[in-house]
Amino acid sequence: MTLQDSLTGKSAHERAFSRTNTGSASTEHFYANLKPFDNFSQITHFDRYLPLPRDWFIGIADVVQSTTAIKTGRYKAVNTVGAAVLVAITNALPELCFPYVFGGDGATVAIPGKYLDEVKYALARTAAWADDTLDLVLRVAIVPVSAIRAAGHDVRVARYAASENVSYAMFTGGGMAWAEGQLKKGEFKVRRAPLNAKPDLSGLYCGFGPIPTEQGTILSIIAIPVEEQRSYAALVADVLALIEFSSRRSGHPLPEGGPLPAWLGGKIQRLLDKHSSHAHLLTAIADALRAIKTRFVLSAGIRMGQFKPLKYRREISNNTDFRKFDDGLKMTVDCSPEIADAIEARLVSAQLSGVCVAGTHRQTSAHLTCYVPSNIRSDHVHFVDGADGGYAAAAAKLKAGKTAVMAGMAAARAVDTPAAP
């Protein structure tokens, strides 16, 4: 171990990763140079996904016991921490175009190796902030792509253009799921920063209240392939067709004209500035006054300088990440209970056939967490989840279903295997 490694607290994994990157050609523009596609039905065209460069790494974080926190009504805090991971890294690397995915109770990024220290620093400070300010434990890991491939998996990425202003990363190859498993085992761990350390969370906004369903159900969907196969692509096509032909706007959970913030705003600023009871009260009053003004301006469509509120609200809806592919289909959609029944029946059938493992969760509203670096630019991004469990609850059901599927497949193999003479 070198003196520099000792001072920065680098682990053996990170020291080996740093040596791997020494002298490698720059690949930092790899993702920026990917051409986005704008037809979501093409997400299972796996030939459009390209492997991440070998010198990149995966930064991954999730809230420990998020399901318990959500059950006690803390879904806003959990979602805020997940979004904060992405905001902190984006603010630390403002000129870098990098792939990421919001997972509801956490987030994942892929970053060129040259930025390892900046990302580690941002993640460590975000974990400290989540613990000290929100009383939520955020576990964090940094996993080299080379380690993922050494374990027999891969990380391949494509860009989906949700609108003309924003694109989101789609991942396949099984590597992200493997990295998440390593995170939960405590491998490649990044320690939290010292007490009261804070990341740069400029632009993080959580002022929207629950966004109610218009069609009866906000359905959170996760469907992970057992293998990349034609039957899984057919399953995804069936689910998308059910939503497309039976729901408004492909199941988009936000109104077309965009949502309005709550009259009294969100808690994010008070949570960021919670130093004393006196400061907390002043912050709450100031936040409420700002929220009332914001709500009035957005609802009345009053143009202020270069800010066009009606255009901004439409962009909120257009720029959301309500559907994605993160080693499997993940969606938050607004649909009727009957369509939810049909989707769940199709997923159960696919799961029993060994095509996928799946989990769903129903609620009556969606929750929105936002990153708005500037309200006069059009590239603000918005992360959507179910407001009463969402992806975390769907993942818990998926985990239970996965155990049953694997047991069934093992039993089937035992029956097919001839007895030894």
Nearest CA to 30 out of 92, 94, 113 is that of: 113
Mean pLDDT over 339-346 rounds to 97
Strand partners, 158: 170
The rounded distance, in Å, linking the Cα atoms of 174 and 224 is 10
pLDDT at position 294, please?
A: 87
317 has pLDDT over 90: yes
pLDDT at 320 over 70: yes
pLDDT value at residue 4: 32
Task: Provide mean pLDDT across the span 131-152.
Answer: 97
Say yes or no to pLDDT of 350 above 50.
yes
Average pLDDT (74-99) is 96
**Alpha-carbon torsion, ordered 18, 327, 82, 35, to 10 deg:** 80
Q: What is the pLDDT of residue 291?
A: 80
pLDDT of residue 8: 36
CATH level 3 topology of 43-202: Alpha-Beta Plaits (3.30.70)
Q: Binning pLDDT at 50, 70 and 90, where does residue 24 land?
A: very low
Residue 7 has a pLDDT of 31
CA distance 403 to 407: 6
> Can you spell out the DSSP letters for 266-317?
-SHHHHHT-S-HHHHHHHHHHHHHHHHHHHHHHHHT--BTTB-HHHHHHHHH
Q: Supply the DSSP string of 106-119, one letter for each residue.
A: EEEEEEEGGGHHHH
What average pLDDT is seen over the chain? 88
Confidence of residue 413 (pLDDT cuts 50, 70, 90): low
pLDDT for residue 23: 40
Q: Is the pLDDT of residue 11 over 60?
A: no
d(CA 176, CA 42): 20
Locate 277 and state its tokens: 């009871």
Q: Report whether pLDDT(20) > 50.
A: no
Tell me the whole-structure pTM to 2 decimals. Answer: 0.87
| Biggest distance spanned by C-alpha atoms of the chain | 85
- Judged against a pLDDT cut of 80, whether residue 125 lies above it is answered with yes
Residue pair 332/388 in contact by the 8 Å Cβ criterion:
no
Q: What angle do CA 386, 169, 362 make, to 5 degrees?
A: 15
Q: Is the pLDDT of residue 229 over 70?
A: yes
| Residue 137 pLDDT grade (very low, low, confident, very high; cuts 50, 70, 90) | very high
Per the CB < 8 A criterion, the answer to whether 421 and 405 are in contact is no
Reported confidence tier of residue 408, pLDDT bands at 50, 70, 90: low
| Residue 329 scores a pLDDT above 50 | yes
Query: For residue 241, is pLDDT > 80?
Result: yes
CA-to-CA distance for 83 and 381, rounded, in angstroms? 10
Show me where the domains of the chain are located: 43-202
Which pLDDT band, with edges at 50, 70 and 90, does 282 fall under?
Answer: confident
Tokens of 314: 């439409």
Please, are residues 55 and 94 in contact by the beta-carbon 8 Å criterion? no
Most confident of the following: 159-163, 267-271, 353-357 = 159-163
